């Protein structure tokens, strides 16, 4: 085939369409070019979606780690907060004052808010792969341990004012985690 033959083949109209007095001819070349453009666009959209998914997962994990570090900072700055855990030695000599009780309650709410945010991420936002499932499993173990080892947290969760703050799904989840 010579160059002229190839050029002639690509210019052969596949079909003609009459549009407002104009005769529009669609050639093989224009259909191939349009198909390639469509496929490239779909591939770029897929890559953007995957990148967004990965970015969301990483940002969520960083946010969860920051919340956990905040909990740890509170325990270092205010060791009396260890009293929310039944097993800890400090809990035997727990400060019964209103201010100390309010600090412990706020610390428990900090945990509940963190657990709510983490649960929302892993259950409603992130499309989980094996790594995400591992992280979520570790968080669930931590949540169960928290409720198992803190009677103050269990009692606070049963209060009406606490149940009014969180969604029904979150309250049901926390209740299930208590055992």
Instruction: Check residue 120 and give its pLDDT.
Output: 92
Phi, psi of 88 (to 5 degrees): -75, 140
Kindly indicate the confidence band of residue 22, based on its pLDDT and cuts at 50, 70 and 90.
low
Instruction: Check residue 53 and give its pLDDT.
Output: 83
Instruction: Check residue 134 and give its pLDDT.
Output: 92
* Residue 157 CA from chain centroid, whole number: 24
Judged against a pLDDT cut of 90, whether residue 139 lies above it is answered with: yes
Bridge partners (DSSP) listed for residue 27: 13
Judged against a pLDDT cut of 80, whether residue 63 lies above it is answered with: yes
Task: Please tell me the number of Cα atoms within 13 Å of 165 on its side-chain side.
Answer: 13
End-to-end C-alpha distance for the chain, whole angstroms:
79
- Once rounded to an integer, what is the mean pLDDT over residues 35-43? 94
Kindly indicate the confidence band of residue 179, based on its pLDDT and cuts at 50, 70 and 90.
confident
Instruction: Check residue 60 and give its pLDDT.
Output: 86
Judged against a pLDDT cut of 80, whether residue 124 lies above it is answered with: yes
Triad 120, 156, 117: Cα angle to 5° = 15
Cα 179 to Cα 174: distance, rounded to the nearest angstrom: 9
């Amino acid at each position: 085939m010579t160059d002229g033959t190839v050029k002639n083949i690509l210019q052969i109209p596949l079909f003609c369409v009459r549009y407002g007095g104009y005769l529009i001819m669609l050639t093989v070349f224009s259909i191939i070019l349009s198909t390639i453009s469509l496929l490239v666009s779909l591939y770029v959209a897929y890559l953007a979606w995957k990148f967004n998914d990965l970015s969301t997962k990483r940002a969520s994990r960083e946010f969860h780690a920051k919340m956990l570090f905040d909990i740890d900072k509170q325990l270092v700055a205010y060791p009396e907060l260890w009293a929310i855990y039944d097993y800890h030695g400090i809990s035997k000599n727990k400060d019964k004052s209103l201010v100390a009780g309010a600090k412990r309650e706020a610390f428990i709410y900090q945990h509940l808010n963190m657990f709510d945010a983490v649960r929302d991420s892993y259950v409603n936002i992130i499309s989980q792969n094996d790594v995400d499932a591992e992280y979520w499993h570790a968080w669930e173990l931590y949540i169960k341990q928290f409720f198992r080892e803190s009677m103050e947290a269990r009692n606070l969760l049963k209060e009406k004012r606490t149940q009014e703050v969180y969604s029904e799904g979150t309250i049901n989840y926390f209740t299930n985690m208590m055992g």
